[in-house]
Structure 1
């Protein structure tokens, strides 16, 4: 019986998140990538903020890859894309050595989001992706808050049984 309230919380938050996502025509998987990022990267607002920043930077890197590939392809043909990827992904080795921007997984999640959604390379469609990303972090935070409250409420009872 102890798992039932947690299962209900998970199901409720998941159902609400998907309903909101569908009604707003967001790419639901993007919201869930952010949701899981909350759990992967530490479950605090500070760790979430740093993960969010690096996801956004990864999206920016994906834009730079595409723009640079377009320019390079005029010079070296189809190798332009590979050269662009090589340069930008290679630069992550340097970011990995920094104190705050070293979360390569978050950078790649940003790359995955932008290449997966493949929006037009215009500011508004790219910035609109921030809404489901932020929502994913918020839903995860709220879900986690409720689950922690459920655990705290059940903890005194579990020591007596």
Structure 2
């Protein structure tokens, strides 16, 4: 019986999140990637902000990969995209050595999101992807807050 309130909270927040996502025509999977990131990478606002930053940087890297691939494609043809990926993904070995930007999975989540959504390479469509990402973190935080309160209440009983 202790699991029922937690199951209700999970279901309720999931249903609200999906409803909001569908009504706003967001890519729901992007919101859930952010939701999972909250749970995987620390469950605090501070850790979430760093993960969010690295997801955004991964998205920026995806844009740079595409832009550089176009330029390199003019020089070396079909190998331009592979060369661009090699250069940018290779740079992660150096970036990962920094103290705060060392979460390679978060960088790759940003790459996955941008390549998965595949928006036009224009500022507004790319910035609009941030909305479901932020919403995913917020829904995860709210869900976690409610679950922690349920656990606290159950511990007192």
Q: Please state which band the TM-score falls in when normalised by the shorter chain.
A: over 0.9
In the TM superposition, residue 55 of structure 1 has moved relative to its aligned partner by 0.0
Match of 2:54 in 1: 54
Q: Deviations over 1:45-95 (max 9, x none)?
A: 000000000000000000000000000000000000000000000000001
C-alpha deviation, 1:156, in angstroms: 2.1
Distance 1:143 1:101 in 2: 26
Q: Gaps (5+ residues) in structure 2?
A: none
1:140 corresponds to:
140
For 2:103 and 2:76, how far apart are their aligned partners in 1?
A: 32
- Superposed, 1:5-24 pairs within 5 Å as 5-24=5-24
1:1-161 equivalences under 5 Å are 1-157=1-157
* CA apart distance, 1:105: 0.3
| CA deviation string 1:88-143 (max 9, x = no partner) | 00000001100000000000000000000000000000000000000000000000
Question: What is the rounded CA distance, in whole Å, between the counterparts of 1:81 and 1:110 in structure 2?
Answer: 18
Runs (4+) of structure 1 moved beyond 2 Å? none
Q: CA RMSD in A?
A: 0.3
Structure 1: runs of 5+ lacking an equivalent: none
